[in-house]
Amino acid sequence: MVLYSDGVQFAIGVDWPAAQTLTAMARGVIAAIAAQEPEPLDADVVAATCAFFSWDAEQLPFGTTVSQVPEPGVVIAVDTRGRGDDGGGGGLVPLLRRALLQHETYGPRVRRFLRSPDAVREPAPLFRFDAFVSYSALDGPLAAGLVRELGASGVVCFLAEIALAAGRLWADQLHRALLSSRAAVILLTPRSVHSEWVQVEAGAMWALGRPVLPTLAGLAPADVPASVRALMPEDLVLVAPSSSSTDTPAEALARTLVPLLLGIRETGDGA
């Protein structure tokens, strides 16, 4: 980890436990600095305001652990106090990286590390989404409503209709979204139950060892094809209520999904 903060141009910490979060790692680095500084420095406060970036200047989500740091395994932590949400890190990190490599003391040390076998690593999955929502485009309003309800409770979802950027390779984006999702919510309706894409996405998440949560709307479990049913946990099939319910299907499904998805996030079962 490379720390950049007011009054501290660079401070480097290495060899931290893989399961620790970057915030905890920053706290340790800052505490070591504080022990040598004449002015008091609250390690908890500074660490809590740090934004974290990979060596390639990609901002890392809150809760990222040491094991999830992308290759080459170098994190740049920027103290955001007085600088905005990311401390200006999007534009600042490339400048910091260049200055670090040219630094009289730290430059040779970092360059040696980047050339060493330690810089070649396979990181643990870096989750950006609590759920990858797989659905048919014909069910777009229902899927969007479900994502909206989940988002209101703090669940971060990937929904292709919202997340895919125009002009980019959508297959690559889908691939990255699948890899960075803790779980899959498979929205099964009479329109999506035979969709090849829905079956492919469900199978991909199952192959990754991620929880697959089937949600049925207007469909009975017996109507689900065997190829999809094989991926479904028998004791966890969520069925939207009938039209006589006071809740909309999206509201009812979200009410059941929220504790499941937040539980997966908290326990790390998606890994």
Q: Residue 129: which of 261, 20, 24, 269 has the closest Cα?
A: 261
One domain for residues 110 and 201: no
Whether 234 is in a domain gets the answer yes
Would you give per-residue pLDDT tens digits along the chain (271 residues)? Answer: 788 876 666 777 777 888 888 998 888 888 887 777 666 667 888 888 889 999 988 889 888 888 889 999 888 988 887 666 655 556 788 888 888 899 888 889 899 989 999 888 888 888 889 999 999 989 999 999 999 999 999 999 999 876 554 445 467 788 888 999 999 999 999 999 888 889 889 999 999 999 888 888 888 878 887 877 787 766 556 666 555 567 788 888 898 899 999 998 887 655 5
109 and 143 both lie in a single domain: no
What total number of domains does the chain contain? 2
Where among 119, 153, 169 does a domain terminate? 119
**Domain assignment of residue 124, yes or no:** no
Q: Give residue 45's domain range.
A: 2-119
Q: Round to whole Å and give the CA distance between 137 and 108.
A: 53
Nearest to 140 by CA among 156, 160, 168, 157: 160
